[in-house]
Structures are given as C-alpha cells and as structure tokens.
Amino acid sequence: MKALVYHGPGQKAWEDTPKPEIANDTDAIVRVDATTICGTDLHILKGDVPAVTDGRILGHEAVGTVDAVGAGVKTVKVGDRVLVSCITACGACRFCREGRYGQCLGGGGWILGHKIDGTQAEYVRVPFADTSTYPVPAGATDEQILMLADILPTGYEVGVLNGTVQPGDVVAVVGAGPIGLSAIMGARLFSPSHIVAIDLADSRLEAAKQFGADVVVNNSREDPEAIIAELTGGLGADVAIEAVGVPATFELATRLARPGGHIANIGVHGEPVTLHLEELWIRDVTITTGLVDTYTTPTLLRLVTSQQIDAGRFVTHHFTLDQFDEAYDVFGRAADTGALKVVLTRT
C-alpha cells in the first residue's frame, strides 16, 4: 500500500510500504476512507517530537472501513464504517476506567502517527479496536465525522468542559486558529452570553465570527482586557481559553479571567510560562491543562447527527490521498490559504 512516511526533519514521502497486519488479537485493520492533517503533524515534521522516528507513517485521524479484526475484537466487524480516534484506549487501566484515555497506562494514549504507524495511509492498524473506534452513524458523512477524531473533542473537552462554560457566561478564547474555533463552536452549545475571540489576524477573527464568536478583538491594535472589563462590569471573563501555546497568550488568558474564573489551557507549550501568583493567589482562579481523552465522542456524534454542531464547517480544502504534498503545503501556509482542516479521501 501507499503511506505518508516520515524520514526525519523536513522529510516525508508518499511511498510504498507493507500493508499492516493484525499484530494483537484486539487490533483492527481499517481502510482509510478519509484522513486529515493536524497542527501536531507540522510540529513532527519540524523535528519537535523526537519520539517520532525515521520510517514512521504519520497521522492520527481517520474515518474508514474495517478490513480485518483480531480474534479478541468483540463489537467491531469487517465492513463497519468507523471513526478512528486520535486517542487509543486499552479500556482496562486505571485511567481508561475513569475515561481519561489520553493518559492510558495500558499501551494506549496518543500512539497513532507517534509511537506506531498512523492514519495518513491506505490502511492503518488500530490497537484495542473495541475501545478506540466508534461506528459512523447513519446519515453522517465521512468528512463530518472525521472532525471528531481530534479537533472537536479537543476544543470541547480541554477548552469548554475543563473551563466549565455555563449559560450566560462571558467566554474569552485566545487564539482563533482551528483549535480556538473548535472551542468557540463547543462553547456555543452552552449558550454563553458572549464569546470573545482574540487573535492577531483579522482573517482568523473573521472565521471566529462564522463559528459563533459575538465579539472579536485584534490584540495587535485593541486591548482585550479593556473590552472584556466593559462587558463584565469590570470583573473579567468567567472562562478564558488558551488556544495558542506560547507564554504571551497564556499570560493574557490569566489576566482576562475574573475572580473565581477558569483558565483552560489547550495550547501545546514548548517552554515554561510565568504565572503571576503574586496577583493570582488571592483571585480564586482555576487553571486546567489537558490532553484530549475523546471521552465525549459519543456525545459529539449525537450532536452532529442532531445538527447541534456543524462539524463540516471546519473543512476548507479537499484532496485525494496521493495529494499529500499539496495538502501539507496548503495546510502549512494557513495564513495565506485560509486552511482550517483539509480532507484527503480515497479515490
């Protein structure tokens, strides 16, 4: 089969590789019908994720059709259309029993396209298939469901639910890239009074409006603290969601939250930040961090099929699997191309 193989920093190729086979009896082999590219894949290609080594097939998001299952797989059958989640769950360890699949101690967690071969390929081996795949509901398209592999649960779980967004809240979202937009879409489900999107790029703020932001702030020229203070009688946001991953945006998020407020970090950080405890110790704040667990996948599937969430809105570009070079290029130049999520499908 063909797959997108990583060959060290800056090097990748759509090349022939052996088709994966059942290695453990709880595995499934899934034919990839649709896959996508994540910001994390760009980090890997820069060499920022040393666990990914030469020869690894990239990708951790897919919708596909089950091609084979191991003897121990109970609920997934050949021919089933399934969502392959970015998080693999053994289903039996302490953390999996608590729904904290991202921290799986039994061989799961984020492993696809990271520690084992991934989904940017014609076929992928999915360990612990019973607890790591989800049936695609009737009436939903591959493209919609593909957004549940990573981006939608990440914004919803790590941003919205960790941040405890409630009806009537003022929610600040710092960063309006795909993850910030996912948090905006997820926050909308709880009917906040105002979602305030903050970014340096007007194009991303325009997208934020489409995804449900009520107020947009370009912090290259506007003061988000002042704007939120005005909306909240001087108190600050009920919830501030960090969706970038650099010190300046995290510190901004901590300044935006009101006394008693929540700061939910989604961003992937590469360096320490300064936490102003000399101001925050007295302000009753709650700061959360998290890797997505995808424990909300069943809920999100219901929200998509009942049209409470318009998952397809993320998809800006379409390619076939053999166009990975072009797709990475378009996604990697999102500022120019306006790419949010690109979808690659089998021909």
Terminal alpha carbon distance of the chain? 14
Q: Which is nearer to its own copies, 220 or 274 (CB)?
A: 274
**18 vs 50, which CB is nearer to its own copies?**
50
Q: Are 109 and 313 in contact (CB under 8 A)?
A: no
| CA triple 289-42-200, angle to 5 deg | 65
Return d(Cα 183, Cα 197) in angstroms, integer.
Answer: 10
**Binding test (CB under 8 A) with its own copies, winner from 29, 240, 245, 342:** 245
Which span sits near its own copies by CB under 8 A: 4-12, 138-146, 187-195, 196-204? 187-195
If one asks whether residue 190 binds its own copies (CB under 8 A), the answer comes out as yes
Q: Is the dihedral of CA 126, 67, 52, 87 positive or negative?
A: negative
Concatenating the DSSP letter of every residue in 307-329 gives TSS-GGGGEEEEEEGGGHHHHHH
| Minimum gap (Å) between residue 118 Cβ and its own copies | 18
DSSP letter (8 states) at residue 200: S
- DSSP lists the bridge partners of residue 36 as 343
Q: Are 184 and 211 in contact (CB under 8 A)?
A: yes
Question: Collapsing DSSP states into helix, strand and coil, what is residue 16?
Answer: strand
**Residue 116 engages its own copies in binding (rule: CB under 8 A):** no
> Residue 173: what residue type?
V
Q: How far is the CB of 244 from its own copies (least distance, A)?
A: 12
By CB under 8 A, name the one of 51, 92, 226, 248 that touches its own copies.
Answer: 92
77 or 276, CB closer to its own copies? 276
Question: Of the ranges 37-45, 57-65, 143-151, 282-290, which one interacts with its own copies (CB under 8 A)?
Answer: 282-290
Rule CB under 8 A: say whether 134 interacts with its own copies. no
Number of residues engaging its own copies in binding (CB under 8 A): 69
Q: Does 168 bind its own copies (CB under 8 A)?
A: yes
Candidate residues 45, 152, 273, 311; the one interacting with its own copies per rule CB under 8 A:
273
Of 159, 203, 215, 208, nearest in space to 183 by CA: 159
CA distance 136 to 159: 25
Q: Which is nearer to its own copies, 7 or 281 (CB)?
A: 281
Contact positions vs its own copies (CB under 8 A): 25-26, 71-72, 74-75, 90-92, 94-95, 97-100, 102-103, 106, 130-131, 166-168, 188-194, 214, 245, 250, 259-260, 265, 267-278, 280-291, 295, 298-300, 302-303, 305-306, 308
